[in-house]
Amino acid sequence: MIRSLAAVGAATLLSSIFVQAPASAAVVTVPNVASLQAAINSAKAGQRILLEDGVHRPGKPIKITKSKIAIAAKNTGRAVFNTSGFEFGAVRGVTIEGFVFNGTSSLSVPAEAYGTRITRTTFNGDKPGASLTVSANDVEVDHNTFSNRTNEGVYLQIAGPDGKIAQRTRVHHNYFYNHSYTGLNGGESIRLGYSYKQQLSAYAVIENNLLEKANGDPEAISVKSSDNTVRFNTIRNSKGYIVLRHGHRSTVEGNLLFGSGVRFHGNDHKVFNNYVENTGDRAIVFGKGSETDSGPTSKLHDRPDRVTVAFNTLIGTGAVVDSDTSTYAPKDCVFANNIIKGSSAKFIEMMSGSTVKYEGNIIWGGTAGISSGYRSVDPKLVRDSKGLLRLASGSPAIETSAGTYSYVTRDFDSQSRVGKPDVGADEYNSSAIRRPLTSVDVGVNAP
């Protein structure tokens, strides 16, 4: 829930009133972790427990044994844990809000803690393992800041108990910043599942997050499960891509990627309405196929089958769209109604033997690399005040898409596509509303 300044002020006033109130009161403020543990032990449903400012060093985890309570810093960002933290029991509907986990302090939401919310909390510095691990169903992770890791380990791990995966996790309006681990693997900002859980459906939604300097791994958002949605995120100044590493039937929609891109393995994904401006590397990568179809415990790369890449705007040099070379080429995929603009000797370069249907694309500024399924015309893109290249009036992309893609009902602004949809991520409209996310829009202090 987003709180106004007035609401924050009211909460502060209430907390001062109820300092000496009994545990049944709506808000209780406690001075230290010992008092916090006692207040949790006697808490009633609906209660909000506030911890005073300070650096707290609990000698053992603070145990959460009551459901439907909120445990919060009295002032966001001023109650700091340098060691240990919270330990969840079999609870429902608990909110953790406003803390800072520094040093080795991290947080884990076990499978039995359904419906937990982690909000306006900072996970800073190096941790052993993940900064935050989610194994329960129906967890919301919002308006948090994950920052300044240099060691191996991920900021956010979506996991689950043996044989299962956390379902319906919603991750939104978080700020993932400055992961500088220099190893070859193991420093993702978000890892959604594990290779051995790839066949499990997580139904997670990762949306409206900002990732900057996501350099701990080539995969900034690494999806290793099935049936997920990654949409409306901004990635900038990062080597990390959105990568569908394992799993099937996921959607990548409406992301703004600067110096980043999208890579996918697996079957039946939909990649549409994304804006990729990447002058130094590839924008869309059909991932290599080390096997035709992965088994439930395989860690090999699954060949992309029946993946649709449509209505994206791709700006760059080099092979803007290509496939990694391996044993098995992409099969029965579609590349449709995309705009590619830049300079390249070959914009599209797919592995020999790939079966990809091309239709309705506009390619301008270099050699297409394909023999059909495109027009070589200037799409007439103009840069708006927010820095995005959009369709100008009179663009040949307007109302000229090919084929039928019934799920593409809006563009990267979330504005409706009307009539015959326009080619690319942008449906022409004189009222452009989208802008890349900045640190003002996400994290602990965002509205």
**pLDDT tens for each residue of 32-79:** 999 999 999 999 999 999 999 999 988 899 999 999 999 999 999 999
Tally of domains within the chain: 1
Q: Evaluate whether residue 343 is within a structural domain.
A: yes
Contact at 8 Å (CB) between 337 and 405? Answer: yes
Name the burial class of residue 97, with classes exposed (0-12), middle (13-18) and buried (19+) by CB atoms within 10 angstroms of its CB: buried
Poorest-pLDDT segment among 11-15, 191-195, 212-216: 11-15
Q: Evaluate whether residue 435 is within a structural domain.
A: no
Averaged pLDDT, 234-247: 96
Cα separation, 182 vs 150, in Å, equals 8
In which band, very low, low, confident or very high, does the pLDDT at 8 lie, cut at 50, 70 and 90? very low
Which own/partner pairs from 260-266 qualify as long-range (CB within 8 Å, at least 24 positions apart)? 260/214, 260/220, 260/235, 260/236, 261/285, 263/219, 263/287, 263/324, 264/304, 264/307, 265/289, 265/301, 265/302, 265/303, 265/304, 266/198, 266/226, 266/294, 266/302, 266/304, 266/305, 266/307
Q: What is the DSSP letter of 112?
A: T
Cα dihedral 283, 289, 292, 293 in deg (nearest 10) = -70
Cα separation, 71 vs 73, in Å, equals 7
How much is the pLDDT for 279?
66
The conformational region for residue 104 under phi > 0 = left, psi -120 to 50 = alpha, else beta, is: alpha
The CATH number for 325's domain is 2.160.20.10
* Position 445 pLDDT exceeds 60: yes
- The share of the chain scoring above pLDDT 90, in percent, equals 85
Chain centroid offset of residue 384 CA: 25
For 260, the token pair is 């980043």
Strands 205-207 and 170-172, bridge-based pairing: parallel
* Interval 104-129: pLDDT, tens: 999 999 999 999 999 999 999 999 99
* Interval 301-312: pLDDT, tens: 899 999 999 999
Q: Evaluate whether residue 319 is within a structural domain.
A: yes
Return the half-sphere exposure (C-beta side, CA atoms, 13 A cut-off) of residue 272.
Answer: 25
Contact at 8 Å (CB) between 359 and 336? Answer: yes
Cα separation, 105 vs 409, in Å, equals 44
Contact at 8 Å (CB) between 399 and 422? Answer: yes
For 17, the token pair is 């009133």
Sign of CA dihedral 72, 75, 77, 79: negative
Contact at 8 Å (CB) between 88 and 78? Answer: no
Helix (H, G, I), strand (E, B) or coil at 400: coil
In which band, very low, low, confident or very high, does the pLDDT at 19 lie, cut at 50, 70 and 90? very low
Strands 219-224 and 270-272, bridge-based pairing: unpaired
Poorest-pLDDT segment among 141-145, 342-346, 442-446: 342-346
Angle (nearest 5°) at CA 405 between 252 and 192: 15
How much is the pLDDT for 332?
98
Q: Evaluate whether residue 413 is within a structural domain.
A: no
Q: Evaluate whether residue 398 is within a structural domain.
A: no
- Quote the domain boundaries for residue 220: 5-377
Averaged pLDDT, 339-358: 95
Per the DSSP assignment, residues forming a β-bridge with 321 are: 284, 348
Q: Evaluate whether residue 104 is within a structural domain.
A: yes
Q: Evaluate whether residue 186 is within a structural domain.
A: yes
Cα–Cα distances (Å) from 267 to 254, 263, 325, in that order, read: 20, 13, 18
Q: Evaluate whether residue 230 is within a structural domain.
A: yes
